[in-house]
Each structure stands twice: as structure tokens, then as C-alpha cells.
Amino acid sequence: MSYTTQMDAAKKGIITREMEIVARKENMDAEVLRELVAKGQVAIPANKNHKSIDPEGIGTGLRTKINVNLGISKDCPSIDAELEKVQTAIDMKVEAIMDLSSFGKTEEFRKRLIDMSPAMIGTVPMYDAVGFYDKELQDITAQEFLDVVKKHAEDGVDFVTIHAGINKSTADIFKRNPRLTNIVSRGGSLLYAWMELNNQENPFYAYYDQLLDICEEYDLTLSLGDACRPGSINDATDASQIHELIILGELTLRAWERNVQVMIEGPGHMAINEIAANMLLEKKLCHGAPFYVLGPIVTDVAPGYDHITSAIGGAIAASSGADFLCYVTPAEHLRLPNLDDMKEGIIASRIAAHAGDIAKGIKGAKEWDYKMSKARQELNWERMFELAIDPEKARRYRKESMPEHEDSCTMCGKMCSMRNMNKVMAGKNINILREDD
């Protein structure tokens, strides 16, 4: 039996090769996974033209995945520098990479990225349109925007962020409800500007069926972008954000009717006490579609440390139902991240994702922590390094400050609680001041 997309196959009762791979990774029965894909509660972004992909699932009952944003800009146009980051991200086993290139002819970087990456690849075609056509924003036509999406799909991109929810009605809500930071989404702000300059409806909303044609042809997953995500905790959970979310829920159902997989993108900047309610709202209003969040960043006052503010919010979001976390680096709000910034962002995001998985009861999550605790109890340093999220840093810290006694560290020495409890429970003398017998 033939099928067009993962969702189409799932609805027809077909377990695809991609579903089999994801089910093995998640220790899940493939039939259970198929049912979740059929319902739209799990997406498996895997473009038919992305030959190097090692598929991953995003959604209900699965491990929380993380995404890394990379790409060239006008001020930092080096493709080789970005590809070095790509290889490092792949080595660190990230599940997704988004190419957010926003300068010049981006096709070379995008194609090389897709060719080398087993991780799923996402893009925001809106960023590419100005450089692709070498036109000012106002002069780009609705059809040209759609054509850029098709070009990305042909190249093998697995998911695209499309800000289809910032339509005329959402724009009217935004105008009537002033915000401190207006529209901070780069793609969303460009679309809003295009709509205002041309006095036209959002082309991705007006020609949504044509967009779905492209997605269906290539099994391109739609990541419905949140143009009105809050850019400050002051603007969180306001009328613009919620109105757009309602529109995204309607667009989700239209996509599913065409067997197009969907993810929903979410905030943004948000106080801790609002995160759980926002996760519930998304799942309710968007019919259980996978939720992809940026952060949330829980305070606005920590430039240089936003990998931490984001990890705090990401852990709470994941524990409350978010399925996919977009990493944030220490360079957020300041500059294009360098290689070290990217590494820190990845580790912080992985910690948040894993913490969320523990709370959600994801199979195998607590077992990882059990193994680490067992290694600590046994003072088995090599095993601790093997189990660490960042083994390289753990080994380096240990090596930089070696203790006098191998069964301790330089913080506690022979007062180490693990060492002494092991000894006393084995009926041995502790010998803190004297040499061991």
C-alpha cells in the first residue's frame, strides 16, 4: 500500500521504516507509536529527500528533544565556521538543527548541512526570501514566498517554521493591545511588515492550501511559528499570543486533514508561574500537537546567562508537557554564538530536557540517574564520567584538582561522606586523621 507522508501511512495502518527506528530508540511498541502519529500527537520530521537522516520522533510519550540554531549572517558570513559548529552539534548528538541563515545566497550552506546531518533539519524560509530574490521585502510576491518554501523542501529540509497565524485578525488584536516589546519573532515581524506595507493578508494564511500541497509532496513537517511569542515577561500570555494560538489550532486541523505533520511553536519570555498553564493551553487549543518552545526564558535581566534562564524554563515546560526545546546560548540577545556558546547552550538544554523527562515518567529517564548515583556511591569515577551529560568537562575538572586519596575529591578529602559511609557500613575504621590501615 502506498502512502504520501508519515501521517498518511499511520492512518492507513502502515508502520514505516522511520516509525520502526523511532520506536526502537524510545523503547516503545511500534503500533503504539503509529497510533500517536495517526492522531498527530507525535511527529516524525523526515523529508523524502533527506537521505542522511536518522529519524527522531517528537511528541507524547517520547523523550524531550532539543534543537540547535545555526546559520550565517551578514556580520558573520563564514560557512566553514558554521559547519564546524554543525559537526560539533552532531557529535554532541543533538536531535535537530535549524539553519537560520539570514544573509546572501544560503543554498550552499543549507545543502551541505543536509548532506552531512543525521539530525533533522529545520529552516525559516521567510529569512531566505530577501536574499534569494535579491529584492526588498515589500516587493516580494505571495507566490514567491511559497516558491522559497518549495525550494527548501526540494533541498531536503525536514521541517519549516511558517508564521501563518499572524493574519489580519491577529494583527488587529496586536494593534489594540499594546506590548512592551512588540513582535520579537524575526520571521513574524517581517511578515507583519510585509502585510502592513502591502495592505494584504499574510500569504501563508491566504494560500495555506498551496503550502500544504508542498508539505504533502515532500513529507515536510509544518512547525507553525508563534509570531506573537512574548519577548519579555511583561508581554507573556497576552491577547496577541493567545489569539494567534487559537488560529494555529485551526490551522493544525486543516493540515491533519491533508496528512501533513504539525508542530506548534511557543514562548518565549515568561515568568515561572505562567509556564505550566501555557503548556496546557497549547495542548488544549492545538489538539495535542507536539509543542516546540524557545526557553521559556524566565527573567529578562541576565544577558550572558540566558542558557541558564532558558534551562530553568525549559525544564518546567518539559515537565508540563512541552515536547521539543530550542536551545538558548549565553550569547542570546548579544551576538551570534560561537562554538563554545553553542556547546554551553546544548548542555543546558539537554539538562532541561532530561529533567523534564524524569518528571514526565519517560521510560529510562530515572534509570540513567540511578546508574549515576550508584557510581557515586561506589566512588567509581570512570563510570561517573561515562554517564555524565558532558564527560569531557567532568574528566577535566577531576584532572585539574586531583586529591591525595583516590577515593575522594579535593573538596572533602577523607571527610567524604560516600567514602566514610562505605567504610563504616562494611565494619571498617574511618581513619580521617591517620593513614588507612
The annotation places the binding site at 69, 98, 127, 163, 185-187, 226-229, 265, 269, 292, 333, 409, 412, 416
Residue stretches of the annotated binding site for Zn(2+) = 269, 333
Residue stretches of the annotated binding site for substrate = 69, 98, 127, 163, 185-187, 226-229, 265, 292
Closest by CA position to 353, among listed 391, 385, 324: 324
Closest by CA position to 58, among listed 293, 225, 245, 242: 293
Find all residues with CB under 8 Å of 255, minimum gap 6, and list them: 212, 215, 222, 261, 262
Q: Which three cell numbers, joined as nine digits, stand for 127? A: 529569512
| Rounded distance between C-alpha atoms, residue 397 and residue 332, angstroms | 26
In terms of DSSP bridges, do strands 120-123 and 96-99 run parallel, antiparallel, or are they unpaired?
Answer: parallel
H/E stretch holding 324 reads strand 324-326
Q: Hey, CA dihedral for 383, 384, 389, 390, is it positive or negative?
A: negative
Amino acid in position 243? H
Closest by CA position to 432, among listed 378, 416, 410: 416
Closest by CA position to 187, among listed 274, 263, 252, 100: 100
CB 85 within 8 A of CB 69: no
Q: How many residues does the chain have?
A: 437
Amino acid in position 224? L
Amino acid in position 259? N
Residue stretches of the annotated binding site for [4Fe-4S] cluster = 409, 412, 416
Neighbours of 1 (CB within 10 A): 6
Neighbours of 112 (CB within 10 A): 15
CB 217 within 8 A of CB 153: yes
